[in-house]
Amino acid sequence: MWLLTSWMCRPVWCRRTDELVDGPNAAHTSALALDRWESRLDGVFAGRPYDMLDAALADAVAAFPAVDERPFRDMVQGMRMDLAKSRYATFDELYLYCYRVAGTVGLMTVPVMGVSPGSQAGVETVYAGALALGVANQLTNILRDVGE
């Protein structure tokens, strides 16, 4: 049960982060709002959560020291990209966006999900796969939106 709860707090944080730019109040989201959100993230990683949902993530961060702050910060940068533009001229620009808003999710979950002890894959391979899956999911979402 602990692993499931710890794993689920990341998607909750990710959903809340995404809602800042895609949710019902997105029209009121500014760079300042993302600055405040990033300050709350500082609190999570310092063990000083703002609310109960932040506390769940702070608890997981404390329980799993391999959780890296970088993907969380990169996701906030992806939200900043959402505020600035919605079209990308090159695949490299699009890939960066996809990494930030979705590839980061895979990187956040690997330290909690772990690598099967019997796996022939090394940790780097697992992280690369998690990143690729996140980016692929985001590209699929974008393609679906284009069709709509």
Q: How confident is the model at residue 5 (pLDDT cuts 50, 70, 90)?
A: very low
Number of domains in the chain: 1
Q: What is the pTM of this model?
A: 0.88
Q: How far is residue 28's CA from residue 25's CA, in Å, rounded to a whole number?
A: 6
Question: Which tens digits make up the pLDDT trace of 50-101?
Answer: 999 999 899 989 988 889 999 999 999 999 999 988 889 999 999 999 999 9
Range of the domain at 45: 2-147
Question: Which tens digits make up the pLDDT trace of 93-130?
Answer: 999 999 999 999 989 988 888 778 888 888 889 899 99
* Burial tier of 109 (Cβ tally within 10 Å: 0-12, 13-18, 19+): buried
Q: How confident is the model at residue 10 (pLDDT cuts 50, 70, 90)?
A: low
- The CATH number of residue 119's host domain is 1.10.600.10
**Distances in Å between the alpha carbon of 115 and those of 3, 29, 121?**
13, 38, 8
Please report where in the chains the tokens 């808003």 appear, as a residue: 101
